[in-house]
Chains A and B, each alone.
Chain A
């Protein structure tokens, strides 16, 4: 496993390059097929509203997959991720228009741990709402 970032080059507080990830209805249909999660709340507006949601929402696991990209794009090697956990606090609502929604993700080094690993704390927001809580990854650096 070969991360591009060296443990000695980061400090607590080092910020990772922030990224934004667009989500449209087409994105969700594609993710449903790739992941095997065909829950209709992720593609059927009528169903979503019937169960009390404001509209179709993104799969939590889709949001989780996007958020870790701030880490894997930084390290270069996705295999350097040792631990990754999130809490799903708010849904990402995806309207049926040309824009869809946007997930904004930022991360910074929160702690330097043993064995060349660091803990990165991530923040993910959409439409001004925090959509992930306690979003943390431990990653092994070079």
Chain B
């Protein structure tokens, strides 16, 4: 069944703040095998002009995707999450995420489409810090694949 177009433009309440920990950044950098010292060494990060260690560019997805769960699991929208795959992902950074940030995410449904039986939802997540400054915007395209023909 095609998704309800009236969801386009719907914005969900901001998430509770997520505090970015330096050990979580280290764990993530190690998990992707990235030894850049800007992620683990405060002095190296400062030498690049950052106030503290920064997170790898894709780190923030863990926070925005959790926030997108509000949309994905909205029973009124009716997306079949068991068939959802990640279609596209894009980030636009005002500044890098860094240790000590307390980040909130505000998710908005930008588009809802049905193509060849697939339901496609575009979600924009605006990430702000504790001071209310914009840090990064994440665009996530989720595709609920059509059920196979019997």
- Measured CB to CB, the residues of A under 8 A from B are 1-2, 21, 27, 30-31, 33-37, 51-52, 60-62, 64-66, 68-69, 72-73, 76-79, 81-88, 134
Cβ of B7 < 8 Å from any Cβ of A? no
- Measured CB to CB, the residues of B under 8 A from A are 24, 27-28, 30-34, 36, 38-39, 47-50, 54, 56-58, 61-62, 65-66, 82, 85-93, 95-96, 139, 148
Nearest-neighbour CB distance to chain A for B148, whole angstroms, equals 8
Q: List 14 additional contacts besides A31-B31, A35-B31, A86-B88; criterion CB under 8 Å.
A: A31-B32, A33-B27, A34-B30, A37-B65, A64-B89, A68-B58, A72-B34, A78-B39, A78-B96, A81-B93, A83-B91, A85-B90, A86-B90, A88-B86
5 contacting pairs across A/B (C-beta < 8 A)? A27-B31, A60-B86, A78-B39, A82-B92, A85-B88
From A30, A51, A61, A73, B30 is in contact (CB under 8 Å) with A30
Interface pair B36/A73, CB less than 8 Å apart: yes
Residues on B with beta carbons closer than 8 Å to the beta carbon of A35: 28, 31, 61-62
- Closest A residue by C-beta to B37: A76
Interface pair A61/B89, CB less than 8 Å apart: yes
- Closest B residue by C-beta to A34: B31
- In whole angstroms, what is the CA distance A85 to B57 when docked? 11
- In whole angstroms, what is the CA distance A60 to B47 when docked? 32
Interface pair A21/B33, CB less than 8 Å apart: yes
Interface pair B89/A83, CB less than 8 Å apart: no
Residues on B with beta carbons closer than 8 Å to the beta carbon of A36: 62, 66
Residue picked from B56, B62, B87, B89, most chain A C-beta under 10 Å: B89
From B27, B38, B49, B85, A78 is in contact (CB under 8 Å) with B38
Interface pair A1/B28, CB less than 8 Å apart: no
- In whole angstroms, what is the CA distance A88 to B49 when docked? 33
Residues on B with beta carbons closer than 8 Å to the beta carbon of A27: 31, 33
Interface pair A61/B61, CB less than 8 Å apart: yes
Interface pair A79/B48, CB less than 8 Å apart: yes
- In whole angstroms, what is the CA distance A30 to B34 when docked? 13
Nearest-neighbour CB distance to chain A for B95, whole angstroms, equals 7
Interface pair A83/B56, CB less than 8 Å apart: no
